[in-house]
Amino acid sequence: MSKRRVAYYYDTDVGSYTYGLGHPMKPHRIRMAHELIAAYDMLDKMHILRPKRSTPQAMTAFHTDEYIHFLNKVTPETAEELTFHGTRFLVGDDNPPFEGVFEFCSISAGGSIDAANRLASGAADIAINWAGGLHHAKKREASGFCYINDIVLGILELLRTYPRVLYIDIDCHHGDGVEEAFYTTDRVMTCSFHKYGEYFPGTGTQEDRGRGKGKGYAINVPLKDGMTDESFQSIFEPILSKIMEVYQPSAVVLQCGADSLSGDKLGCFNLSMQGHAHSVQFMRQYNVPLILLGGGGYTVKNVARAWAYETACALGIEDTINPNLPWNEYFEWFGPRYRLEVATNNMEDQNLKDASLERVRITALEQLNELQTAPSVQMQDTPRESLGHHLGFDRDGQDRNELDERLAQHARFVYHLQEFDSASSATSEDESWDSDDSNASNTRSTRGNNRFRNTHIERKRMSILNNHYYDVPVNEEGFEHYDIGPLGKTGKRRFFYSQARWDEGCEEVVLGQPKAYAGGALAELMQRGGKETNGIDVDEVDDDWDDMPVDS
């Protein structure tokens, strides 16, 4: 295989973080993979770089300011209060608020952003960040062990230079966070190979193809248990060949989630190490700028093996390395065979039953045939720096002042409210296009003064640990503006659901419920001393009030 300039991003601190005792996600696996890569003398063949840790401002290119501020402040001790009793930001037990969570996220996101910039500058052909690939994180919420979606942040950097980016996901779980982020654009095509059917995150059918301008640019390949190397290759190659022919991407991002390997603690596929790495070898031959990212993988010794072998594939030396593992710091972890391999088991391939794999392949190819030509973008000068950098927000630790942050938050709230308003007019009252409000109903009523009566609503979430759904209460007191849901046809937009209202009698803004003043005139109200009569004559109420003793 021809040589490629490979940039390898690794931070020595990334393996020092832990999600907590007993949690299946082990950041330590990244350090194990690095030690194995070093033991095979691959570091001398790559440009080794320590990524610059991502700043909060860089993360807000996709995530909301409130969420990034939360991650920067949360600790295990303050999590209960800052998450509003587990209903916001960190929902369920999948994403614990471990010590140093923001630093871990900054390493992951910084590596993917730097990898994208490295490719865009032309300094590398392939960039590797095994600390990245956290594809479940949403704009304002953690999900599936993922807090910051480094993939979206990296793709956004690529889009500053490249007109079209292809994202490929071979993780056992659907890449829902990345698909959702680019669901309405044709500049990014997402292609996910994943297990579907009562399996986290419960999304990724072939009917989910994008919306608006992005219609047809989300390709989903739902699979069943027991996927073997032969079955995976038979569906991966024709679909990716067609995508490269039709879409003609300028850059490719490949998420190499290792939970699709055989024997993974949370996975259900039966891929060997070579079968998993075949996707890297197949995409490398196109000679298109390529980013390799990590992702899932919960049998740590197999994750380290797979990513070390795929690093060799990126270098084109996979045929020359010794299958017997060299001595390294974690040598005893790879027992009892101590070989660079992940063997398959006797699990039955459910994809071969009823020709389901063939139907999925035919459907995916038919969807791709509907795309006539590669979309183009207007020719323009590539921006040299971000707007925030140009204005000096990230120089010498300078940050936006409090007023700027408050204005940004208010503008974003209003923007989302307008999105909901337009969506409710285009869809039926029972439909909701926001993933955060799926399977939720929001009943609202209007009465005389057109006030809303908020009802208790719930939203569904699936746990990656047990694939069970659970209900999450929303619209907690004081934050009704966050999850407003769709409005009915008679509903009137009330920003933030404030209790403030304009009182015609007093001719001022008042709080609370309307007062049933007799007559309603301000002069009469003053004459009664501000007292409510409820139909009783004013003269009959407390005649002796002026005879009460007054302290001198």
Residues identified as active-site: 136
Considering only CA atoms, which of 75, 58, 229 is closest in space to residue 148? 58
Backbone angles phi, psi at 210, to 5 degrees: 110, 175
Contact 243, 221 (CB under 8 A): no
Structure tokens at 537: 């004559």
Q: How far apart are CA 368 and CA 381, in angstroms?
A: 31
Question: What single letter denotes the amino acid at residue 524?
Answer: E
Angle at 153 between CA 380 and CA 194, to 5 degrees: 115
State the residue for tokens 């740590």: 300
| CB-based contact 75:99 (threshold 8 Å) | yes
**CB distance 257 to 172 below 8 Å:** yes
Token couple for 31: 């350090």
The β-bridge relationship of strands 251-255 and 165-169 is parallel
SS3 164: coil
How many angstroms from the chain centroid is the CA of residue 220? Answer: 17
Assess contact for 256 and 276: CB atoms under 8 A: yes
The answer to whether residues 281 and 9 touch, using CB atoms and an 8 Å cutoff, is no
The two three-digit tokens of residue 88, written as one number: 């916001």
Neighbours of 128 (CB within 10 A): 28
For 340-343, the CB contacts below 8 A with 24+ separation are: 340/273, 340/305, 340/308, 340/309, 341/272, 341/273, 341/305, 342/261, 342/262, 342/263, 342/271, 342/272, 342/273, 342/276, 342/302, 342/305, 342/306, 343/262, 343/272
> 119-124: long-range contacts at Cβ-Cβ below 8 A with a sequence spacing of 24 or more?
119/158, 119/251, 119/289, 119/290, 119/291, 120/157, 120/158, 120/160, 120/161, 120/162, 123/5, 123/7, 123/47, 124/5, 124/6, 124/7, 124/47
Residue 265, SS3 per DSSP = coil
Query: Quick check: helix, strand or coil at residue 452?
Result: coil
Kindly write down the DSSP assignment for every residue of 61-119, as one continuous string: TTS-HHHHHHHHH--TTTHHHHTTTTTSSS-SSSS---TTHHHHHHHHHHHHHHHHHHH
Instruction: Please name which of 181, 490, 159, 219 lies closest in space to residue 366, comparing C-alpha atoms.
Output: 219
